[in-house]
Amino acid sequence: MAAPPASVDGFVRRFLQNLNFDQGVALSTSDDNDRYLALAGTVRDYLMARWLDDQAQQSTQQSKTVCYLSAEYLLGRQLDNNLLAARLTDIATEALAQCGIDIADLRALEIEPGLGNGGLGRLAACFIDSLATMSIPTIGYGIRYEYGIFRQAFADGQQVEQPDAWLRLGSPWDFPHPEAAQTISFAGHTETYDDDGVERTRWVPEWNVLAVPYNMMVPGYHNGRVNTLRLWRAVATNAFDLHTFNSGDYVASVRAQTFAENISKVLYPEDSTPQGKELRLQQQYFFVAASIADFVENVLPEGFDLAKLPERVIFQLNDTHPVIGVPELMRVLIDEKHLEWDAAWAITQKCFAYTCHTLLPEALEVWSVDLLGRLLPRHLEIIYRINDEFLLEVRDRFGDDEMLIRDMSIIGEHPYRSVRMAYLATVAGSKVNGVAELHSQLLRDNVLKDFAKMWPEKFTNVTNGVTPRRFLRLANPELSALITETLGAGWTVDLERLRGLEAFADDPEFRERFAAVKAANKRRLSRVLAARDGTSLDDGHLLDVMIKRLHEYKRQTLKVLHIVSTYDGIVSGRVNVEDVQPRTFLFGAKAAPGYAMAKHIIHLINAVGEVVNTDPRVEGRLKVLYPANYNVTLAESIIPAADLSEQISLAGKEASGTGNMKLALNGALTIGTDDGANVEIRQLVGDDNFFLFGMSEPEVEALWAEGYRPADFYQADERLRRAIDLIAAGTFSDGDRTVFEPLISNLLYDDRFMALADFGTYIDAQERVDLAYADQETWVRSAILNVARSGFFSSDRAMRDYLDRIWHATPVN
């Protein structure tokens, strides 16, 4: 199958064909949605031949495939990315113009697939983009949730969640393959049987669902490679019971279908505390079992010798969500392929590697033995045996230290019997990595210290990265054009070349052009905000952004305290309004629906915004914006416009962060703690171009050890006291003191993330920001240096690190 000719005429012809034959309409009667679907279909047609070739090659080639197992992919819109990858942007724009269509109108129609919560899911999307661009044979495996991350709206300043029906206008970017469905089993019991004199175990499940794969193209940038993202949808094996229907019980007749399809119905709206939900474990097993079966049965050639499996695949576990894959591969190898335990374990250990993404103890996933045994009885048996053998090794190595045995056991006994999935992954994985230097070190020193002592060589670091295609080339076309004009085009796939910009940081003409790009990006963001929310940005304001999930450890509260304190400074006369740098504070954040404290914080941000934005005493000086429903599409408008990037988590809590990298890469200066990848950002961009504040991780530990009393900080700092008192007095809640009482009490008496302890140095750092921004020459220089020195944060580099340190796979073609 050949691609249509890469010309405007060729594109027009194929577009019209798709409009006629796929959408069933003529150009003159088509609406924008028809046109969008036909356009997407046309782009697909260009990529199709290479995609089919690359899939066919996957089974015949001898090289290793990276199977990225991830419960989340926060993809963002596909159209522009795919046009760019296939070098079709100009052709498509011109072709549509010839049909009387403005491509921008169609672009705006695309609903992004929000199949992830935040950083973890967006990371997976960046990684598969880089792997395709580097021609690494990869299959991304995940779940095709019918409803992705909820749509956020605000009612009276409070978060309201609405379902994300992202499929409602069709899904032109994926292809269902019902013929390649896998049957996935659950529950039941296990039994032993005699297999020609050999005693074997088998699982006799109680119920099944079908996993139907939907394939999406993952095109590499300008290299012709098209990898696959395979997302599984759950379908009932026996969807409809005609007998029950005929007897008149219509609800019961489709019960099986409803039950089965629930498995891929919704994304769990949480990424930092596991919910002990049976459905979530079902989801995890569902997609992992389908993926392993798919790889073994469909991707490997027939008759493949499974002893060689580690030469052909690495299953990368993106956090603990896919870890049930470990006992699943063991089950397949032993029960289905009849390998001996030791041989199966040797293979399994080489086929998995584990990435940990957290330091919060509550985010380390555990499953009760009860639930796991009920849903996956054979897997529990296998986990027990893995644990028995592992604990023998521990005794061998460290003696009969019962406390250590308890600490390291994959089975936890307290407060209830449970399977510790991070430990299972660590025991089974060939490598374990954290996602930034500091995070990997804290994993070795604290969270997994006994394991690191046992297997120091297992532990490694790969600092996260972001794709420069989406987050610079596409999101910031003006800056991209300036960079290309200055350095040539190669930076898009070799981001270290941005270093070349250092030489221009002192060039007045370049600075002027750089500043003009930032100003244009702010105007563009202002138009986006006007169209979606009726708000806007003011000219000349410093744009100060905090965009990320709402979580106490990220400390949006600290940001609010800064806003309230600045506001108070002006209205109380403590500060002369003329001396305050005009600023717009922009938030973007969703809170998990069940996370009450995070929702109070959202309410407070909106309430403070309401007062600040309508108080004439601060008009033209302070503004608070909180556009609802922060997602990848909105991120792409905000990031290029930002001046200041707020990365203010308590040191030792943010594993890495990736928003921090995107903002630095687009020329925002960071105000941040020494946490996660901020540490590496600061080292690279230099102290002069970064506003550091707050306690270091060891200082945080020391303060905890000595006994942290937030009220002491409240008493000691007048600015802090006044800010908290203003909120407590009802200034932002029409005099009602009860509204924010839980939040205030939490800060004064608990403050687990030590916002009050870091308040003083934060405010001092913000004063430095004001002074620095007043000197535009120097500010722009710093912004340029941020761009120039952020090349390290390309996800291409992250992929090279995974390849060198963990995967050992090589490019093809």
Residues numbered 463-482 forming contacts with ligand CGF, rule: CB under 6 A = 464
Beta carbon of residue 677, minimum distance to ligand PLP (angstroms, whole number): 8
Element (H, E) at 130: helix 119-133
**Known catalytic residue at 321:** no
Lay out the site mask for ligand CGF across 311-350 (x = CB under 6 A, - = otherwise).
--------x-------------------------------
Candidates 280, 458, 603, 662; catalytic one: 662
Length in residues, the chain: 813
Among 69, 91, 123, 501, binds ligand CGF (CB under 6 A): 123
Candidates 331, 431, 548, 555; catalytic one: 548
Number of residues that bind ligand PLP (CB under 6 A): 13
Residues numbered 655-684 forming contacts with ligand CGF, rule: CB under 6 A = 655-658, 676
Part of the chain binding ligand CGF (CB under 6 A), chosen from 113-121, 222-230, 241-249, 724-732: 113-121
Among 120, 394, 448, 550, binds ligand CGF (CB under 6 A): 120
Nearest 5°: CA angle at 172, between 169 and 175?
A: 125
**Known catalytic residue at 548:** yes
Tokens of 146: 């019918």
Half-sphere exposure of 785 (CA within 13 A, CB side): 20
Distance CA 411, CA 420 (A): 6
Q: Does 657 bind ligand PLP (CB under 6 A)?
A: yes
Element (H, E) at 788: helix 776-788
Part of the chain binding ligand CGF (CB under 6 A), chosen from 117-125, 216-224, 584-592, 618-626: 117-125
Beta carbon of residue 635, minimum distance to ligand PLP (angstroms, whole number): 4
Beta carbon of residue 314, minimum distance to ligand CGF (angstroms, whole number): 18
Residues numbered 296-325 forming contacts with ligand PLP, rule: CB under 6 A = none
Part of the chain binding ligand CGF (CB under 6 A), chosen from 100-108, 372-380, 616-624, 648-656: 648-656
Distance CA 703, CA 347 (A): 46
Measured torsion, CA atoms of residues 657, 662, 666, 672, in degrees rounded to the nearest 10: 0
Candidates 230, 233, 522, 549; catalytic one: 549
Helices 32-60 + 8-21 axis angle, to 10: 100
Amino acid (1-letter code) at residue 578? E
Which of residues 72 and 174 has its CB atom nearest to ligand PLP in the complex?
Answer: 72
Lay out the site mask for ligand PLP across 84-123 (x = CB under 6 A, - = otherwise).
----------------------------------xx--x-
Which residue is listed with tokens 């950083």? 119
Part of the chain binding ligand CGF (CB under 6 A), chosen from 322-330, 387-395, 651-659, 802-810: 651-659
Which of residues 300 and 635 has its CB atom nearest to ligand PLP in the complex?
Answer: 635
Among 41, 118, 140, 672, binds ligand CGF (CB under 6 A): 118
Q: Does 58 bind ligand PLP (CB under 6 A)?
A: no
Beta carbon of residue 31, minimum distance to ligand PLP (angstroms, whole number): 29
Distance CA 764, CA 111 (A): 42
**Do residues 410 and 383 touch, judged by C-beta distance below 8 A?**
yes
Which one-letter DSSP state was computed for residue 132?
Answer: H
Buried b / exposed e along 652-682 (16+ C-beta atoms within 10 A): bbbbbbbbbbbbbbbbbbbbbbbbbbbbbbb
**Known catalytic residue at 518:** no
**Known catalytic residue at 559:** no
User: CA–CA distance from 570 to each of 245, 331, 433, 581, 800 (Å)?
Assistant: 70, 67, 48, 12, 51
Residues numbered 535-574 forming contacts with ligand PLP, rule: CB under 6 A = 548-549
Q: Does 658 bind ligand PLP (CB under 6 A)?
A: yes
Beta carbon of residue 148, minimum distance to ligand PLP (angstroms, whole number): 12
The strands making up 690-692's β-sheet, listed across from edge to edge, are: 622-625, 583-588, 542-547, 644-647, 669-672, 690-692
Residues numbered 248-307 forming contacts with ligand CGF, rule: CB under 6 A = 271-272
Quick one: what does residue 632 bind among ligand PLP, ligand CGF, none, with the CB cut-off 5 to 8 Å set by partner type? ligand PLP
Q: What is the CA radius of gyration of the chain?
A: 27
| DSSP characters over 344-392 | HHHHHHHHEEEE-----GGGS-EEEHHHHHHH-HHHHHHHHHHHHHHHH
Which residues are known to be catalytic? 357, 548-549, 554, 658, 662
Q: Which residues bind ligand CGF (CB under 6 A)?
A: 118-120, 123, 271-272, 319, 357-358, 435, 464, 654-658, 676
